[in-house]
């Protein structure tokens, strides 16, 4: 129970900081077109991170003992599951960034 709570707290902290804030000068200028482009690039970066997690999943699946050896303290973590969790968070953050890009793009048409 305590381990699950700790993992959830750690994941929520990561989720809150997954999408980087846009540059202040774009916000200050209210440059909706530039903000849309910035969020599109951020979404692409997040999708790349999700793909990197998928590669790690395959690596840990090939050698599950490798992940176990990386843990210093018990209980041992399932690195395959953790990579799945991170990949899902990156994909979700990418969708959120795409949604923000769409919103800013729509503001330029208004």
Please report whether residue 4 resides in a domain.
no
The pTM assigned to this predicted structure is 0.74
Distance (Å, rounded) from C-alpha 75 to C-alpha 71?
A: 8
Please report whether residue 16 resides in a domain.
no
Please report whether residue 68 resides in a domain.
yes
The residue among 59 and 110 whose pLDDT is bigger is: 59
Please report whether residue 110 resides in a domain.
yes
Please report whether residue 91 resides in a domain.
yes
Q: What is the mean pLDDT of the chain?
A: 80
- Number of domains into which the chain is organized: 1
Average pLDDT over residues 27-34: 90
Please report whether residue 62 resides in a domain.
yes
pLDDT digits (tens, 9 = 90+) for 62-77: 887 776 676 665 565 6
What domain range is 58 assigned to? 53-110
């Amino acid at each position: 129970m305590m381990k699950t709570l700790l993992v959830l707290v750690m994941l929520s902290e990561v989720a809150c900081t997954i999408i980087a804030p846009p540059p202040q000068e774009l916000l200050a200028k209210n440059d909706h077109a530039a903000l849309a482009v910035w969020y599109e690039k951020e979404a692409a970066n997040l999708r790349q991170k999700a793909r990197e997690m998928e590669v790690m999943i395959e690596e840990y699946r090939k050698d599950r003992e490798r992940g176990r050896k990386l843990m210093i303290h018990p209980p041992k973590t399932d690195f395959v599951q953790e990579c799945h969790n991170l990949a899902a968070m990156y994909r979700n953050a990418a969708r959120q960034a795409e949604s923000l890009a769409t919103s800013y793009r729509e503001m330029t048409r208004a």
